[in-house]
Structure 1
């Protein structure tokens, strides 16, 4: 089994593929409210850690615009609208990822078996270590999601979840960005811990 070096804010980038209104209407393997929560949390936390984010959509005239929650979470980041099925087949997407200077690429997409899997596999083949954010992606059936994940894992893509990949990058809960990161991830236990920390700080 290959060992992958730790993800850090200096070596990681995030590629967000096709989180579009029309595609969300077909997602069936994850509740769409949970999906939105997870991708928005991932995007906000990455921004808090200054991890570069590349965003792409496909054929918006067919699949609609990027979901508004994600647009709001990523102010100032221009999305690349393309027509290719595989985002990695568009030279602008590859150039944007290359421009980050990072070789560890976290990828998320709708659908898991196409919009996530195909660029993750292509980036892997061109020398990137790729991480598939499974719970920040969605598929049209559970079978499609499972097949996409199995295909990626067999090729060497690393499956992760939206929160654990960010916490790995954060690395230290004493970091200045920790509160912003946990607020972005919006995990119930993190809110509880944050409340307890505030309570005990006020008691000092």
Structure 2
């Protein structure tokens, strides 16, 4: 089993905004939304701190994605609102927020994978963090762009993963109280996926 531990990890969400999510074409944006919500719920169960950041939110009126604030109001209130910086790691406020978690493993998702996620993931890796890119909590406009981003991240030592895989690694044992809660979250996620999506409401 993986060495990934909840107590070492922080969840990083980058540009999970309404307009930005619309650029996801490599899968349904509703899938990315559902997986992002599942990640935030699981982080709450496991006591994993969150750092969220948005890009030109006010200037473009590209508001944070509905459904996340209710789960973690503190992360929403403290989100780092970048005013144009593309690589979140170039924003000192973002780096300070990540450092303040005291965690050295970053579970990172962004919209898009070939934009905000890849830049921040590569920079965090260079800064000495272990980085897991949760690919299905985001996406890209074009599949070739997504493939290239995945390859570049992998070559740099970023670990590519999915929502279900990362939560299984974190849960360790379904028989534990936390494991049972994570298993329930994954079951709800799968049921929603099989039954179709009404997540945009």
Q: Structure 1 length normalisation: TM-score?
A: 0.86
Q: Distance in 2 between matches of 1:96 and 1:185?
A: 28
Relative to structure 1, is the Cα distance of residues 63 and 182 closer, same or farther in structure 2, using a 3 angstrom cutoff?
farther
Counterpart residue number, 1:148: 149
Q: Distance in 1 between matches of 2:170 and 2:106?
A: 12
Whose radius of gyration is greater, 1 or 2?
1
- Tell me whether 1:97 sits opposite 2:94 in the alignment: no
Give per-residue Cα distances to partners, 1:2-55, cap 9 Å, x unaligned: xx9611111111110000001112210010111111111011111110011110
Counterpart residue number, 1:26: 23
RMSD: 1.9
Q: Distance in 2 between matches of 1:151 and 1:122?
A: 12
Aligned pairs for 1:111-122 (under 5 A) are 111-122=112-123
Q: Distance in 1 between matches of 2:174 and 2:2?
A: 20
Counterpart residue number, 2:82: 82
Give per-residue Cα distances to partners, 1:130-165, cap 9 Å, x unaligned: 110011111111111111111101111000101211
Q: Distance in 2 between matches of 1:183 and 1:5?
A: 21
Secondary structure in structure 2 of the residue aligned to 1:107: strand
Size of the aligned set, in residue pairs, is: 188
Secondary structure in structure 2 of the residue aligned to 1:65: coil
Q: Structure 2 length normalisation: TM-score?
A: 0.87
- Tell me whether 1:133 sits opposite 2:134 in the alignment: yes
Secondary structure in structure 1 of the residue aligned to 2:68: helix
Q: Is the 8 A contact 1:45 1:182 kept in 2?
A: no
Decide which moves more: 145-154 or 59-68: 59-68
Q: Is the 8 A contact 1:21 1:67 kept in 2?
A: yes
Q: Is the 8 A contact 2:9 2:104 kept in 1?
A: yes
Decide which moves more: 108-117 or 70-79: 70-79
Q: Could you list the runs of 5+ residues in structure 1 that have no partner in the other structure?
A: 192-204
Q: In the TM superposition, what is the alpha-carbon distance from 1:190 to its structure 2 partner?
A: 8.3
